[in-house]
Structures are given as structure tokens and as C-alpha cells.
Structure 1
Amino acid sequence: MNDVFKALADPTRREILGLLQEKDLTAGEISDNFNISKPSISHHLNILKNADLIIQERKGQHLYYSLNTTVFQDIIHWVLSFKKG
């Protein structure tokens, strides 16, 4: 869970997750939304993948990224476990 919180701590990664809420995207499509280098986007995507927040899937010649909703459900369940009463 520590990797998840580290990944979520960065505003660029949170913005990437927001983009992926709308639809699956390639790295190039994600990169088009930012004014940073493609290697930087790739670095952010790797951190999100290592935290299992996103999934990478090959479709033809392209790699698409999508949200791993299972991890988000686990986080919500964990947070709600602290609710008293």
C-alpha cells in the first residue's frame, strides 16, 4: 500500500489517473496533455504501474493504459475500515 500512496502523492500522476478515468489512452495520448518530456511521462506511468494503479495492455501496435479499479476499491475499503461505529 506504501507504493500506492507514493504514486498518488504526485500531482502529475494524479492528473494521469484523472485522464484514464475517462478512457484508456496510449502513452502518446497521455503525453499530449502535458508540457513535459515523453521520458518523464514514461517514468510516471512506470510508477503508477508498479503501484498497480494502472494496467498496460497491448492492442495491435499500441500500448494502452487503463485504471486498475480493483486497487481503488481496495483503498476505499481500507479507508472505510477506520470508520467508527
Structure 2
Amino acid sequence: MAVVGFLLAYGLAIFAVINLKTALTELSITLNRNLFDMSGKFIFWGTLLSIILIGLLGILIGYILLTIAFFTAPMEIQLNNVEEVNVM
């Protein structure tokens, strides 16, 4: 029963990281900052390799790179071809 729980948790972690990697890739394209994409790849491969415990180091490196990417990102960006949406 513990093995089933572990495999379920591992599968859900991989699913979550795939979504995180996709979001970071889109953010990398939008902001033109490769560091977001690189951190997403480190976190993704770290999660896949966490089953043999070496991946935990990859996850740590990925989150450190993500922190650096957010602190070095531009404060304002210019968006092209975006229509204005009035909420109220």
C-alpha cells in the first residue's frame, strides 16, 4: 500500500512539474529571459531524478536559478498586439 501511495505522489509531482515547466517556458519567451527556461528544465529533470535522490540537488539549483531570474527580470515590459479588456 505504501508503494502505491509513493507512486501516486511521484506521478502527481511529475504532472505538476510539467505544468510549471510549461509556464516557465512561456514566461521565458514573453520576457526574453533564458534563465526562466533553464530553471524550469533543472526543476523538471530534478523531479524525474528525485527517485534516486540525486534529483534533489537539481531541484535546489532550479529554484535558485528561478529566484535569480525573478530578481533580474525587467520591472516593466512592452506587450505588442494585446487588446485592452475592461473588467467593469
Structure 1-normalised TM-score?
0.33
Pair member with larger Rg? 2
Bigger proportion of residues as strand: 1
The one of the two structures with greater contact order (alpha-carbon pairs below 8 A, sep at least 6) is: 1
Bigger proportion of residues as helix: 2
Structure 2-normalised TM-score?
0.32
